[in-house]
Amino acid sequence: MTPVTTISLDSWTPSCTPEDQERATRALEAGGVLFMPSLVFALHEDERDFLSPDTAGEGKNVSFDGARNRLSGSSADAASQRRLQAMLARYAASSRSLLGSLLPHYAPTLQQARTSFRPVEISGRDISWRKDDTRLHVDSFPSSPTGGDRILRVFSNVNPNGQSRAWRLGESFEAVSRRFLPQIRGPLPGANQVLKAVGVTKRLRSDYDHFMLGLHDRMKADLGYQAKADQSDVGFPPGSSWIVYTDQVSHAAMGGQHAFEQTFHLPVAGMLDPAQAPLGILERLVGRTLV
């Protein structure tokens, strides 16, 4: 089952020894979760009003695209949006700085993607099964193929009422793949090109993305699997942060409110041990190259 490695740092600009860095990188790449129980993302006094589902309007989160310096998902007035954006930009900078100190091996190739603020209670949301993150899954997004690049996420719980973010962690990526790959057929010839041409995907969906999406969907659709798969409950308390390769680690978010999340992408070649990537595991099991 998914190992959780506790790291006792409490600063977004920590000084880490080479041994700490290697241990953290290896634990992550092996499919573990890095848990930092006292790494607090502190809100400014005037940001506390954002701790309300209203901040996300009709949606479930507010997101910030640092590359374009653009906020989306908020219907607040212009002044509030400026403060919200500053808060998300601070989380983006903090998480980037953390990875720079803790996982320096990734620095040359790490790409920062979207930042999100999640002020809506997870449990009891009315959502289709495919989008339901209370079901165990590995991350794969229909419109955003990664072409094999990794999805690395940093999370922080900022709940003001003592409520933990409750996750389930499932079996290893290899076990998930062995179980579901036999049910997943390869894409029809030309299908990936058609999805790109009609705008379903932002870039060409590779065969890797096809199989990842297949795993994501088969896992979520299988209620027997959800109930019976090897799994454990883990709670991330307010004031804690955690890092996980969500394309590799089987996870489900069962409850909790008020969290930040920062997504990074990493080319497989940027890993310490590229053979541990989902790409390598899938290529070995399918028996051919997938990107």
Region near ligand AKG per CB under 6 A, out of 66-74, 174-182, 217-225, 253-261:
253-261
By the rule CB under 6 A, 24 interacts with ligand AKG:
no
Residue from the set 7, 101, 139, 231 that interacts with Fe ion by CB under 5 A: 139
User: Binders of ligand AKG: how many residues, by CB under 6 A?
Assistant: 9
By the rule CB under 6 A, 206 interacts with ligand AKG:
no
Give the span between the Cα atoms of 144 and 150, in whole angstroms.
12
For Fe ion, give the closer residue by CB, 139 or 149.
139
Helix then strand then coil, % of the chain, to nearest 5? 35, 20, 45
Which distant-in-sequence residues (6+ apart) come within 8 Å of 141 by Cβ?
none
By the rule CB under 6 A, 250 interacts with ligand AKG:
no
Give the span between the Cα atoms of 264 and 262, in whole angstroms.
7
Which distant-in-sequence residues (6+ apart) come within 8 Å of 260 by Cβ?
41, 88, 91, 115, 116, 117, 118, 155, 156, 158
Structure tokens belonging to residue 239: 């004031």
Task: Please give the residue whose beta carbon sits closest to ligand AKG in the complex.
Answer: 253
Region near ligand AKG per CB under 6 A, out of 68-76, 107-115, 217-225, 246-254:
246-254
Cβ-contact 57, 84 below 8 angstroms? no
For Fe ion, give the closer residue by CB, 24 or 219.
219
Residue 130 sits at the vertex; the CA angle it makes with 129 and 132, to the nearest 5 degrees, is 60
Which distant-in-sequence residues (6+ apart) come within 8 Å of 227 by Cβ?
none
Site string for Fe ion, 155-194 (x = CB under 5 A): ----------------------------------------
By the rule CB under 6 A, 261 interacts with ligand AKG:
yes
Binders of ligand AKG among residues 135 to 194 (CB under 6 A) are: 139, 165
By the rule CB under 6 A, 259 interacts with ligand AKG:
yes
Contact residues: Fe ion, CB under 5 A: 139, 246
Contact residues: ligand AKG, CB under 6 A: 118, 133, 139, 165, 246, 251, 253, 259, 261
